[in-house]
Every structure is written in C-alpha cells, then in structure tokens.
Chain A
Amino acid sequence: MSAGRAMASHYKEISIAEFFEKNRHILGFDSPQRSLFMIVKEALDNSLDACEEWGILPEIYVEVAKKSDDTFRVTVRDNGPGIERIEVPRVFGQLLYGSRFHAVRQSRGQQGIGITAAILYGQITTGEPSRIMTKTQEADVGFEIYMQINVKENKGTVISESPVIVNYGHGIEISITAKGRYQTGKQSIIEYLRETAVVNPNMNLTFVDPDGVTTVFRRSTEKLPEPARSIKPHPLGLEPGEIIGLAAVSSEKHLRSFLTGEFNRVSDRVADEILKESGLDGSAFPGEMKAETAMKLQQAFRKVKLMPPPVDCLSPLGEEFIRRGLMAVYEEHHPAFYSKPVTRPVSVYNGNPFSVEVGIVYGGELRADDQVKIIRYANKVPLLYQAGACAMIRAVAEIDWRPYGMDQKQGIGVPFGPMIILVHVYGTRVPYTSESKEAVAAIPEIIEEIKLALKSVGRGLKSFMNRNERREKANEKFNLVMNIIPEIGKKCSRILGREEPNIDRVMSLVANVVFIKEEGSKCDGGFDVLARILNYTSESRAFTLYAEPVSGKIDGEAMWTIPSISPAGVSEVRFKVLTESDKYPGTDYYTTGINPVLVHGAEPLPGDWSLREEEAVEDGA
C-alpha cells in the first residue's frame, strides 16, 4: 500500500501509460506468458475477494481463447455481487482506485491496482477495449460495457454501454484481449487455478483452455470462510508517507482525535504520551500534514508502550478447507496420508499481525524420487514465481527433514520424497519481495513461525510412517502364518498322498502373537467394520480392546472386553465408523490387559486416552 501511494504521488505529473511502461516488471507484465497469467490472476483474485466478502459460494468461469498466434482473449466470470454500471469506469479504469484505501484488512488483491494494469496491458498491446458485463441483484438487466483507459487523465472511458438480458442473478464478467503466450507447466494458468482450487474448496471453477479443453474443479464443501475484519492500522509498521495519507483522508479536525480515531490501540492516554514524546500540538489540524510532523509521529510511536494489534482480524483457510482442498485436488495421486493441517496462533511482526498454516499430502502415486512439491500461498493467493527468494521455501529448506523420515542431503535444502507441502502465510500486510507479490520476504519472525508449523506436521508424518511400518510388518507375519505355512502343509501332504497335518502348533510357534485384522465395507453414513482377533500364541488370551478411527468417529462404544480366546482361536468385534470419506480411512486399535509385544495390529493404550475421548466428543458437537 505504501508503495502504491508513494508511486501515485510521485508519478502524478507523468502519463499513466508511461508509468505503466516503466513499471511493467514490478506489476508482473514483463513477458508474454506471464502477462496472460497475470490477467487471469488479477481478475480471479478480485472475484474471490468479492464472493468472500458477500458470503457467496463462488462459481467461476475462466476462458483463454486464441485470437491469433500471439493474441488471446481472457474471460473471467463470477457470481459475485456485481457493481453498479456507473461504478465500472472508476473501479476498472482508474489506477489506485480502491474502496478501502486506508483500511487494514487481509484480502487477496490489494488496492485494485492489478485489474486496471491488466486492462491497460491489453489496451497497449492490442488497442482493443475491454468488455465488462455487470449485473447486480437489484437490477433487472445486466449491462455490457466496452471501456478503455484514458491514460492522460487516469480514468476509464466508456465506449459503449448497452443493457442485456442475462440468465444469472448477479456477477461480473470481464474480457480482456491482449498479446501473450499460452503455456502449461509449473508457472501456468492451469497450475494457478489448480492451486487456487486447493485453498477454495467451496468454489466451482470451470476452465476452458485455448484448445477448447475444459477442466472443472468442483467444490467439496459449501462452507463459507469467516471473512476478514477490517481493522484500523496499528501505529507500528507505518511509514511517514502512509501517516500523511491517512491524515489527508481523515475527517478528524484535531491531531489528538486523529490519533485516537484513526489508529488501532491508541487510547486517550496513549495519544497524550505520543503528543508528549513528539512535542506536537494535539489541537493542530492533521490534514495536509508535513513530512516532518509525520516523521516525529513515527518516532514517537516507537517510544510509547503500545499493545500489539488484535489478532482476531485475520481469516485463515482453516483446517477443514486445507484438508478438503488437498483431498479434492490431489486425490488423483491416491495419497496414503493427509496430515492434520496446522494453524499457528497469530504473531506480530513490525506491528502487523500475521499467521501461518501448513498441510501436507504424502505417499500414494506421488513421485518418490523428486523433490517435494511446495505450494505457496499468501493471503489465499497461490505464488508461482520467485520460489527461490521466498521465506516459505527457506523455512522448508532450513529444517532437517531426516528425523521425519524424508530424504534430504546433509539435512538441508528442499527434501526428496512423495510429498506436497502447502504453506499459507496470511496477514494484514504480508511483506513481499517485490510489488508483483510473488514471494514472501524472509522476515525472521515469519520463517520461524513457518518452521514451527512444518515441524508440527512433520511429527504427524513420522508417526504415520511408524504406524505404517508396523502395519506392514504385522501384515507380513499374518500372511506368513495364515497363507504360506498352510500352503506348505497342503503341498507336502499332496506330494506324499497323506492327510493334511495339523499345523496350529507350528503357526503359534512362528507367530507367537495375537493378530488384530480389520475389514471395512461401505454402508449408509460410513463403514461397517469387522475386526477379527486371532490368537496365535500357545496360551489362552483375554484383554480389553479400544478403537479410534483415523478419521470420522465410531457409532457407539469404542471399547470391548475380549473374552478368553484359546490358542488358534478367533474372536470378532463389529462396529460402525461414521465418516463422509469414500475410502475406509482405517482404525487404530489399542489394548490393555495383555503384554503389548504379543499383539500385532494394535498399540498399548496411551496414557491420554480419556482426554482424547473428550476431544472427540467436542469435534462431533
């Protein structure tokens, strides 16, 4: 925001086209393939912001159509609230026009610079006007508006406007024709859309590429995210230019009330302290503030004791969105493990509240010999460029992943393995390395928070791997005892033409364990589970069995008393797991009353079992 404001005043006198030309690279329009990507990104970010703010489940349509070898028409349509037709030239045609220029709020786009830059780019490269369709809920018809940007006066000029009858309730459709190059791969439109779908699992998105191929990302939840609240700016973390900017738009008449009214965490007492420290007059008029005054205020802000900014103003993706999003988009790889996503408590850097979320997907058909894929998000927007400069990559690379079971050279760098790591950094002001917002700056506080979140999911991964290893061992032994040895018995007796021998004793000698094996079969609302307990020890065994599904919950009691099972005997337990998943997630079993080394397929009951029970009840409520 500071940079935008500063740029606006700095370039006041020069033509906006010249401004654009000079700043193409920092706005992201520096190559033909990237420019096309930027148009989609800016339009889509705006659409999602609008839907989120108005509590609408997004229905998005994106199309990139080829007009000639190097010219494309990008169309993005949403079901957002739409805007009044008279607002169109200002919203889309004025660089730096924004409704909340001085409010501090977590959002995807910032001050509306992006979409205007996209329109301007199309206009400069092809000379064609942009087409905008808007329909609000109240209006009976939609309006189709062709507009251009008057580069001399920095405003939108409507070329034609006509009412049209549309068959949807409300929304905006924007079409921009621009020079560019369409590509696929790591830094492509389709990848951006895919990663956007991961963090917006409540969105339906249809994409039609230049070859006419349609890709659909379907919503997997109908929940709406908690919208971010606007907060007033916290005094720390403001530059003098921004203080001047705030003063210019403030309606407060006195400096003292400006301080208490426009800033976060500035009480009457704090305002007095600031005035005392700065030696400024509290009754002075704050508008048209001089740079010198702003500098004095900035210094005084740092000297007085300020409460950190409130932390409830942020909008995380949340555990459910991350889990559902990852599941829906990466399901095709049949991953073996989805971590429970981790959301860190809100922290503050330089007066700006921020936080970090992390989720991982592991195993299945993901490539095991590649470096792990890291999908980066800042304020719910995927970051595809400048990965090397990003705090998120740095945090991943600084962790020694080997203790969590991943391959990594000398314990440093991006690890290797079949894994996707999702990292989301969000806050009222995420520090980017450049204006095109492609990488989060390596601020130590942010890196530290990311690392804490990564280590937390890493522990989950490790315990999954351990559990898996134990299961495999148990399965192998089960196969040995239940299949191979009986087959040897059969084969021998057939060769010799004798009766099959009774192999129970040998099976017990080889196994010397109690096996717990389960089978899940789909039923209404979840899975019917049959757990079989086979005693392959040389003595009778009785114990208590507990069950906890990996996801979902058990319908009814999750504890059974297993009566004495004689050697080579079997006992069965049946229960139902309530889950929305299509695949049986598996159940963890625990035992008491039996030496744990004698049990294959269950763990000794952990000490915090009763506590977990309560948690489960809360989850269900």
Chain B
Amino acid sequence: MEREVKKTLESMVEDIYNALGGGEVPEIRMSSRNRDNIVLDKLSSVWKYGDAKVSRSLRTTDGANYVLKNMYMIDFILEMLRDGKSSTLREMYYISEGWGRAKFGTQDESDLMAEDLEVITSLIREDFKLRPEENGASIIGDITIEERSRKGDFKKINCKDDVGEAGYTIPNNVESEKLRIRSTNAKFVLALETGGMFDRLVENGFDEKFGCVLVHLKGQPARSTRRVLKRMNIEMNLPIFVFTDGDPWSFRIFGSIAYGAIKTAHISEYLAVPTAEFIGVTASDILNYDLPTDKLTDKDIAALNAELKDPRFQTDFWRSEIETMLQINKKAEQQALAKYGLNYVTDTYLPEKLGEAGGII
C-alpha cells in the first residue's frame, strides 16, 4: 500500500517537472470543493463532488504558491513514509515554518491542502501518515470491539462493562487494521451533540433500559466518529439516530452524518450514513414541547438561509423545519428539556420521538 501511495505522489511531482521542462505551464486540476458542486450519488445515497473542476496553475501568484506548497507537502509525506513516521496536521503546520516561501499562513490552509491532496489522489490522510490532533468522541453501550494496542495485539473491549463513566474513547485511526467491531446486543445507536446530554442519559441508564449504544459527537463530529457510526451501521446493522440542539449548526451536524460534509464529500461513501434519522430538537419540538428558547442571531439566520439553498437539505422535512425556525425566530438547546425535570428526556421525550421515528421503542 505504501508503495502505491509513494508512486501516486511522485507521479504528481513528475507531472509538474515534465511540464516545466517541456515548456508547458504546469497546473494541478481537481474537483471543485464548493457547495455548488455537491451532487447526490444515487447508488450510495450520499452526497459527493460533481464534475466541476478547478485548476491551480503557475500563471498566477496564488496558483504558483499553491503548487509550491503542494510540492513541499508531498516531499514531507514522502519523507515520513521513508522514515516510518507520522505527524498530526498541527505538527505539519508548524513544520512548514521551515519551508520559507512555502510556509502556511494558517493551519486552516494546511488542513485544507491535505484534504485537497486526498481529493486529487483519491487516497485518505491515513495513507499520508497525517492525523488530526483532536480526541475522538466517546461510546457507552453494549457493543464489543477490538483495538490494536501499541504492542500490536488486539484487545477486546465491551463498551458497557469494560469502560468507566466517560466511556470508550474512539481513536483517530478507526480502520480495520486498528479497530474491529465484534458483536453487540444493542438495537440502535443514539448519537448526542453535547456532553451534558450524554452524561444525563448515562446517569439515567438510558442505554441499558432501551438497549442502545450512546455516542457523544462532541459538536461537529470528527471523521473517526463518523466512520465508527458508519461501520456500526453497516457491520452491526444498527440504525443511527441523531439527537442535537435545535439550531442551524446542529442541523449541519446531522447533515454531515447522514448526507456527507461538503469538505469531505470525496469520502462521503466511507463516512455518511444515509439512513440516519434526526430525532430533534426540531423547530416543531420548540413549539410542541414549549421549550425555553433564545432569539436567533444574525449569524443563525444567515446559516438557516444558506441551508435553504444547500442541496443536501432539499427535503420536505428540512424545508419545513428550517422555515418554521426562521418564522418563530427561536432556537433551543437539547438540555432545555430539563424544564420538565431531569427524567423527562429519558422517560417521555426520547421514547415519544424514537417511537415516531421508526417504532424502535
């Protein structure tokens, strides 16, 4: 595999080298990673990049700087492959300090370029020995996995019996060489946006009472979290339900789980669970459950309007929820349900909503 990666990256460099020597202005072409270039892949039911291409050429300063930085990044990756090392995205950003003119201005720039490289080569960043620095999210529930330890042997972990209150922490690399999902007695997975709600459900014993696996998303879920959800869905046949705050940003969290994120549309097939269902908090919940609310900010309103134009949200359900939220001009946190007591969410709200959603309970 590593030989393949090396060959792919070197051939990119060779293209530039040959163009330069052959008197042609070199360029790098790739799919446009823009919202307007997201199309639904009928076969897999996830959103992927369409046919629109962008090109970075040496004709402009920006284009030439891009190509130069790209060459430095490839050189760095080849070096890691040679030396058997890996680095975090943040480390690479700092290492670029020594690249002179090719130094990155921000970590956003270097992260984006690493993703670009995935899009261009159809490889993933694990192939490039690059990993994110953030901790993965947590899992609690009756599911058994095997994780390869540093010594190289696989260790069996039941996410209900073998973990503490914080649950099992999802590692950065969740591919099968690192993580195997063995068995489960759960009937479904409930993914939660906030730590407060995750803790509430654990304390109330929701997972045991209703036979589910709880996953704390930690806000916008990392790739590894989404990949684990996808694998639980495919390999264990567990339906995925998503429970978030009721605001435009939480809608996007669901969008990235169910349909694929715009930034990672090149790997939507690996990450997105098209059958995932949104539990709430919906705009209708705010009205039906009479929840405590905050007024929408200008940024919230702009985000909702952008979602109305987002191809992923063009369903009757989302259209009506987004429009309702704009109309009532209110948003609510999932913990607003505590208005009716600490047990309300586990005894009343979730059973009602999950019942509606698919008769799971």
Measured CB to CB, the residues of A under 8 A from B are 476-477, 479-480, 483-485, 487-489, 491-496, 498, 501-503, 505-506, 509-510
Contacts and interface: CB of A to CB of B under 8 A. Distances in A.
Nearest to A505: B23
Contact of A506 (B13, B14, B20, B101): B20
Nearest to B23: A505
A20 to B, nearest CB: 60
27 contacts: A480-B58, A480-B60, A480-B61, A480-B64, A484-B58, A485-B20, A485-B58, A487-B68, A488-B16, A488-B26, A488-B71, A491-B72, A491-B75, A492-B14, A492-B71, A495-B74, A495-B75, A495-B78, A496-B17, A502-B21, A503-B21, A505-B23, A506-B19, A506-B23, A506-B24, A506-B25, A509-B24
B75 A506 contact: no
Q: From DSSP, what is the main secondary structure of chain B's interface residues?
A: helix
Interface string B57-80: 011110011011001101100100
B91 interface: no
Nearest to B68: A488
Q: Which of the four size classes fits the interface of chain B?
A: 20 to 34
A487 B26 CA distance: 13
Contacts of A477: 61
Q: Which 5 A-B pairs have the closest CB atoms?
A: A501-B21, A505-B23, A492-B17, A484-B64, A491-B71
A52 B195 CA distance: 81
A483 B68 CA distance: 11
Contact of A487 (B25, B59, B101): B101
Given A484-B68, A495-B75, 4 more contacts: A484-B61, A489-B20, A491-B102, A498-B17
B10 interface: yes
Contacts of B23: 505-506, 509
Contacts of B101: 483-484, 487
Contacts of A485: 20, 58, 64
A503 B71 contact: no
B104 to A, nearest CB: 15
Interface of B: 10, 13-14, 16-17, 19-21, 23-26, 58-61, 64-65, 67-68, 71-72, 74-75, 78, 101-102
B279 to A, nearest CB: 49
Contacts of A483: 101
A111 to B, nearest CB: 63
Nearest to A492: B17
A501 B17 contact: yes
B58 A492 contact: no
Nearest to A493: B17
Q: From DSSP, what is the main secondary structure of chain A's interface residues?
A: helix
A504 to B, nearest CB: 8
Contacts of B65: 484
Given A484-B68, A487-B101, A492 B20 contact: yes
A502 B20 CA distance: 7
Contacts of B20: 485, 488-489, 492, 501, 503, 506
A460 B67 CA distance: 40
Given A487-B68, A506-B25, A509-B23, A492 B16 contact: yes
A498 B13 CA distance: 12
A118 B24 CA distance: 80
Given A495-B75, A496-B17, A498-B17, A488 B24 contact: no
B355 to A, nearest CB: 59
A474 to B, nearest CB: 12
A477 B25 CA distance: 15
Given A484-B65, A487-B68, A506-B25, A492 B59 contact: no
B22 to A, nearest CB: 8
A496 B102 CA distance: 18
B117 to A, nearest CB: 14
A9 B71 CA distance: 90
